Amino acid sequence: EIRVAGLKEQLKLGSLAITTDGLSAQEVFRRVSDEARALIDAQYALFNNEILPGLDAEGIRFLRRSNWTDAQREWIRGFFFREVMPVLTPIGLDPSHPFPRVLNKSLNFAIELEGKDAFGRSSDAAIVQAPRVLPRVIRLPRELCDCEYAFVFLSSVLHDFVGELFAGMNVLGCYQFRVTRNSDLFVDEEEVKNLRTKIQGELPQRHFGDAVRLEVADNCSPAMTEFLLGQFNLSASDLYRVAGPVNLVRLMQVPDWVPRDDLKFSTFHPGKPKVLQKTHSIFDSMRAGDILLHHPYQSFTPVINLLDQAADDPRVVAIKMTVYRTGTDSVLMQSLLRAAQNGKEVTVVVELMARFDEEANIGWATKLEEVGAHVVYGVVGYKTHAKMLMVVRREETEQGSTLRRYIHLG
Residue 280 to residue 288: CA distance in whole angstroms: 14
Q: Locate all alpha helices (DSSP H) within 165-262, ordered by sequence.
A: 195-202, 222-231, 254-257
In angstroms, the Cα distances linking 326 to 184, 237, 330 are 19, 36, 6
What crossing angle do the helices spanning 358-370 and 195-202 adopt, rounded to 10°?
Answer: 130
Known catalytic residue at 385: yes
Query: What is the phi/psi pair of residue 247, to 5°?
Result: -140, 95
Whether 403 and 393 have beta carbons less than 8 Å apart is answered as: yes
In three-state secondary structure terms, 255 is helix
Residue 68 to residue 56: CA distance in whole angstroms: 15
Residue 378 to residue 344: CA distance in whole angstroms: 21
CA-based nearest residue to 67, from 130, 140, 137, 173: 140
Selected catalytic residue, list 97, 295, 374, 385: 385
In angstroms, the Cα distances linking 300 to 11, 143, 303, 332, 410 are 43, 44, 6, 11, 10
Q: How far is CA 91 from the centre of its chain?
A: 27
In angstroms, the Cα distances linking 144 to 61, 135, 159, 364 are 13, 20, 21, 48
Residue 181 to residue 211: CA distance in whole angstroms: 4
Annotated active-site positions, please? 385
